[in-house]
Structure 1
Amino acid sequence: MSNLLKIFLWSAVPIIEQRGAIPLGILKYNMSPQIVFLVSFLGSMLPVPFILLMFNKIFSLMQRYKFFSKITGFIEKKINKNSVHLEKYKEIGLITFIGIPLPTTGVWTGSAVAAFLKLDFKKSIFCAAVGALISATLLTFACMFFPSLI
């Protein structure tokens, strides 16, 4: 598998997302920061429409079965914790939440919260894209200029 494909796929994986893919591409594979930035951004955006369209349906289905209770409880706790800020500030909150590359923030969680709050689909896609661009920019610059921090 090519390194570009690895970066693309890793950036689409929950929890890892750009936070793992960009340092991997720039620091481990010594790839061009511009290429890693673009590929990672595109990979991170891949799951967004699917999450926005299907999250509530899948989550409701999972809640019906006791087998998934720990998972759904964890997800519900995360969403409720983060939804307070997003409900108040909506688009700016969603962009900020996705744009800050910290653990449990990012495109997956932001998109799930947007779906849970039933935010507008097109606005949510736009906010996810802007947030992902901010996150990718911060991570790329950090890898280029402060690699010891990563």
Structure 2
Amino acid sequence: MSDAIVSWFSNMNGYTAVFFMSMLPIVELRGSIIFAAATDLPYVWAYIISVVGNMIPIPFVILFLRPILNWLKTTKHLSGAANWVQERSMKKAGKIVKYEMLGLFIFVAIPLPGTGAWTGAIIASILNMRISRALPPIFFGVLTAGFIMLAGSYGLFNLAGYLF
């Protein structure tokens, strides 16, 4: 399965691969920027395409995940998976509940495994945050995580050389 995914992305134009890769949960912007750096795409385009691609699914996750999970909980075979997603997200939601928008921003901005726009959107949906309150911190968190990943993937000193 993983060979098929790698093959699918490697047969695409680099920019298209970065775009679709950034839309995937788990991979998100963090993986797409690393991929862009590995394929020598210009860092400005890697950043812009990764941010746009990462943000496209987020409003849909915030709006539709909670109703979908509630429906899945009523089914016989998928209720366990729905409960697992909700319980796992609630474990990560502690600081977000306390600090709400700032907590959501920090959670999305720090590029560690298990954080990111998708998880932040899932938590916002489960906590029933309004989309108008959840989208700005997620967006700015994605922007920040993108800069961190650019610095790591393209090299902090190389980026400074381009900027100054």
Q: TM-score, normalised by structure 2?
A: 0.84
Q: Which residue of 1 aligns with 2:56?
A: 46
Q: Distance in 2 between matches of 1:128 and 1:80?
A: 17
Q: 1:14 aligns with which of 19, 25, 29?
A: 25
Structure 2 gaps of 5+ residues are 1-11, 157-164
Which of structures 1 and 2 has the larger relative contact order (alpha carbons within 8 angstroms, sep 6+)? Answer: 1
Q: Which residue of 2 aligns with 1:65?
A: 75
Q: Which residue of 2 aligns with 1:5?
A: 16
Question: Percent of aligned positions with the same letter in both sequences?
Answer: 26
Displacement of 1:33 in angstroms is 0.9
Structure whose CA Rg is larger: 2
CA offsets per residue over residues 66-111 of structure 1, 9 Å max, x none? 3224422331222111111111000000000011111111001100
Q: TM-score, normalised by structure 1?
A: 0.91
Q: Which residue of 2 aligns with 1:107?
A: 117
8 Å contact from structure 2 (residues 73, 80) kept in 1: no
Q: 2:93 aligns with which of 83, 96, 110?
A: 83
Q: CA RMSD in A?
A: 1.2
Structure 1 gaps of 5+ residues are none
8 Å contact from structure 2 (residues 121, 134) kept in 1: yes
Q: Which residue of 1 aligns with 2:8?
A: none
- Asked if 1:23 is matched to 2:43, the reply is no
Aligned residues: 145
Q: Distance in 1 between matches of 2:50 and 2:27?
A: 11
Displacement of 1:20 in angstroms is 1.0
Amino acid at match of 1:107: A
Q: Which residue of 2 aligns with 1:74?
A: 84
Runs of 4+ in 1 over 6 A off after TM superposition: none
